[in-house]
Amino acid sequence: MLTHPMALRGRIGAMAAVPCVVGLLVAGPVAAAQSVDRYEFSEPHMGTAFRIVLYAADRRTAEHAAASAYSVVERLDSTFSDYHADSEVSRLSSTEAGQVRSISPELARLLTTASLWSKRTHGAFDVTVGPLTRLWRWSSRRGELPDEARLAEAKARVGYESLEVDGAAHTIVFERAGMALDLGGIAKGYAADAALAELRRLGFESAFVDAGGDLALGVAPPGRKGWRVDVPGHTVLWLAETAVATSGDRHRYVEIDGVRYSHIVDPRTGHGMTTASTVTVVAPDATTADVLATALGLMDAEAGATLVRSLDGASAAVTGETAWSLGDVPPSKAESLRRVNR
């Protein structure tokens, strides 16, 4: 059934014009009774800007906390990136089929989580998509589609079923030759979670981390009901102690022969996504939100809604050709969506 945008269970503020990526603002000054101030920091990591906002007694304390959180992100980037030739993930590209390779505990944890999500999304999310994403990067820089023979060859090296991860032993096995990892659909969310956890470890509960649109939100700012989250095309959300991610092709795409191809490659078909859509997800943690924001754009509406419905604390809205909305993320202001009931 088609429904129009609606007020949601006490967590929605007024309508607002918003940018194309998720943005966070705290409206108004901190209450005078509070002894902490708001501090904001930004550094480039993982190919995007990592923003940290936290409340602290003084700037020196805030800077120390932010530096510690950024050191966590930098360490994870040196492990997860497939752009850096010396990263742990890049070095795994030389792994032969059937060879057992030792990996770091951090990478083992992430790949164990990724494997579970590959199964839950029936392959819409798949970190073994590396051969395809590398081919599409190479072709898009030349403004051309991948050669069909090369596309078929790359697709033959993709498949989460051929990735064996032993989380306890910290080992990995590629069951096919030439496999490669691309953690782009999970790494930023994982890093946002890790950075927020570091801030909390240091005693900063009122904080958030924005990893290029993957948001890990801590306790609400002093005197506020939550962090204000401006979601593209939607009303304002006020959220705390949760996570939000938005993904789509609004800015990251290439147009070839009049067809717009998203930066998101479907690991099941080998092709860049051509259906224009924006996915917004609210989930208990940024890792989950990041994965779902990638996968739901590739899944059909019924399968996507079924998946979100099965997850505690998760909500989503997809705009575009397969538009739908479920839970606490409102339908778009600009169009009517099919509202899916729990």
Is 274 inside any structural domain? no
C-alpha distance from residue 111 to each of 26, 119, 182, 184, 228 (Å): 35, 12, 11, 12, 32
Is 74 inside any structural domain? no
Write down the pLDDT at residue 265: 86
Write down the pLDDT at residue 218: 98
Sign of CA dihedral 279, 8, 243, 164: negative
Write down the pLDDT at residue 1: 28
How many structural domains comprise the chain? 1
Write down the pLDDT at residue 297: 86
Q: For 33-90, what is each residue's pLDDT tens digit? A: 458 999 999 999 999 999 999 999 999 999 999 999 999 999 999 999 988 889 999 9
Tell me the CATH number at 150.
1.10.3980.10
Write down the pLDDT at residue 18: 29
Is 163 inside any structural domain? yes
Write down the pLDDT at residue 336: 34
Write down the pLDDT at residue 234: 59
C-alpha distance from residue 336 to each of 121, 317, 320, 341, 342 (Å): 26, 12, 10, 15, 19
Q: What is the mean pLDDT of each run of 10 residues along the chain (342 residues)?
A: 26 27 42 75 96 98 99 98 92 95 98 98 96 84 81 95 98 97 97 99 98 97 93 79 83 55 78 73 97 91 91 86 59 39 40
Is 40 inside any structural domain? no
* Contact between residue 217 and residue 242 where contact means Cβ atoms under 8 Å apart: yes
Q: What tokens appear for 81 in the block?
A: 């990136």
- Which domain does 127 fall in, by range? 88-174
Write down the pLDDT at residue 147: 84
Write down the pLDDT at residue 7: 26
> pTM, whole model, 2 decimals?
0.83
Is 112 inside any structural domain? yes
Dist CA 75 CA 45 (whole Å): 10
Is 157 inside any structural domain? yes
What letters, b where the CB count within 10 A reaches 16 and e where it falls short, cover 138-160?
Answer: ebbeeeebbeeeebeebbebbbb
Enumerate long-range contacts of 336-340, CB under 8 Å, 24 or more apart.
336/2, 336/3, 336/4, 337/2, 337/3, 338/1, 338/2, 338/3, 338/301, 339/1, 339/2, 339/3, 339/6, 340/301, 340/305, 340/309
> Does residue 24 sit in helix, strand or coil?
strand
Is 105 inside any structural domain? yes
> Does residue 2 sit in helix, strand or coil?
strand
Is 134 inside any structural domain? yes
